[in-house]
């Protein structure tokens, strides 16, 4: 239930930032998982294709930093840290 709710929220955010048919292609997404977030990188990876389906991040590489610090103020949270876009040959800088 907990993973489901978190991943649905992440999906909303990814769709907002990287809509299907957008001009940029997202090649990498980095997540930070708090030490007390009650989700494992494995469970996120298993469901990740559903999170990015029908977005321009559909084929992105997923990187997960797992925190071990239970005193971090966000220890119970999952953070979408950054997304890397491929701006194509030459790019826009």
Partner 1 sequence: MTERTIAVNYLARVEGEGALRVRIRDRTVEEVELRIFEPPRFFEAFLRGRHYTEAPDVTARICGICPVAYQMSACHALERALGIEVGGTLRELRRLLYCGEWIESHALHIYLLHAPDFLGYPDAIQLARDHPEAVQRGLALKKAGNAIMRMLGGREIHPINVRVGGFYRCPSRDEVADLRGEVVRALALAEETVRFVAGFEFPKVEEDYEFVALRHPEEYPLNEGRIESSTGVDIDPADFDGTFEEVQMPHSHALHSVHKGAGSYLVGPMARYALNHDRLSPRALRVAQEVGLEPVVRNPFRSVLVRAVEVVYACEEAVRIIDRYRPPERPWVEAPPIDHPTHGAAATEAPRGLLYHAYDVDPSGLLRTAHIVAPTAQNQKRIEDDLRHLVTRSLDLDTPALTFACERAIRNHDPCISCATHFLSVELVRE
Number of residues that bind partner 1 (CB under 8 A): 31
State in angstroms the smallest separation of the CB of 52 from partner 1.
14
Token digits for 59?
A: 């084929």
State in angstroms the smallest separation of the CB of 54 from partner 1.
19
* Site membership for partner 1, residue 85 (CB under 8 A): yes
Cα three-residue angle 52-64-30, rounded to 5 degrees: 60
Q: Are 48 and 62 in contact (CB under 8 A)?
A: yes
Closest C-alpha to 28, from 64, 74, 67, 1: 64
State in angstroms the smallest separation of the CB of 42 from partner 1.
15
Phi and psi dihedrals of 9, rounded to 5? -70, -40
Residues 1-60 that bind partner 1 (CB under 8 A): 1-2, 4-6, 8-10, 13, 17, 24, 27-28
Residues that bind partner 1 (CB under 8 A): 1-2, 4-6, 8-10, 13, 17, 24, 27-28, 74, 77-93
């Amino acid at each position: 239930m907990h993973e489901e709710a978190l991943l649905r929220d992440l999906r909303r955010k990814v769709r907002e930032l990287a809509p299907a048919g957008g001009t940029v292609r997202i090649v990498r997404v980095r997540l930070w998982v708090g030490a007390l977030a009650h989700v494992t990188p494995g469970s996120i990876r298993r469901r990740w294709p559903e999170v990015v389906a029908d977005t321009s991040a559909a084929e992105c590489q997923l990187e997960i930093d797992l925190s071990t610090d239970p005193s971090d103020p966000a220890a119970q949270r999952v953070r979408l840290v950054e997304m890397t876009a491929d701006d194509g040959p030459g790019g826009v800088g």
